[in-house]
A = this chain, B = another copy of it.
């Protein structure tokens, strides 16, 4: 099996790969998200572009290594055409969850895959619809106190406490966590001759 690098600082993405028994290393991939958010208004184009830039940057940093697979991803939470980003404090997290409660929103993840000694970069995306139960203000504050919202797009994680109020999803569950694993499986198999199973 080739060495795999996840160009991301997301613990959730790492957990997904760990649970799927895939060994990998983390590499921090910096990209100025705000700059691209101003330039690209379509969420799908935005997450694809951000994932692609992360992979391209990681490729440069790894130019001395051979046969290393690089994976990057970028996730946005979208409600009625607006992005729900990472909250900066508990008040903003409360506001985010209150907006999402009782409704459906979209989780959109862009994924980019490349290899150090191969100029090809494959870019794809996936969308999952997530529906929350109705929540009282008291429920939301109880949730905010877990601190699970910190550093997470949309201020929640489907894997943890928020699973109590996720009524349903339509689409890939791993995509909600930030990495559509079925897409990764197909891209690596079809484009890079790597079978993750």
Contact = CB atoms under 8 A, between A and B. Distances in A.
Given A169-B173, A173-B158, A173-B173, A164 B185 contact: yes
A151 B18 CA distance: 21
A163 B173 contact: yes
Contacts of A184: 164
Contacts of A169: 169-173
A197 B138 CA distance: 9
A167 interface: yes
Interface residues of A, number: 36
A167 B197 CA distance: 15
A159 B161 CA distance: 16
Interface stretch (A42-50, A61-69, A139-147): A139-147
30 contacts: A16-B163, A19-B161, A19-B163, A20-B161, A20-B163, A20-B164, A21-B160, A21-B161, A128-B168, A133-B182, A133-B185, A139-B195, A142-B197, A143-B197, A158-B173, A161-B197, A163-B173, A163-B174, A163-B182, A164-B182, A164-B184, A164-B197, A165-B185, A166-B181, A166-B182, A168-B170, A169-B170, A170-B170, A173-B173, A173-B176
A19 B182 contact: no
Given A142-B197, A182-B133, A19 B159 contact: yes
Nearest to A184: B164
Nearest to A174: B163
A139 B67 CA distance: 23
Interface in A24-62: none
A121 interface: no
Given A164-B182, A165-B182, 11 more contacts: A16-B163, A20-B161, A133-B182, A133-B185, A164-B181, A164-B196, A166-B172, A167-B182, A168-B171, A169-B169, A169-B171
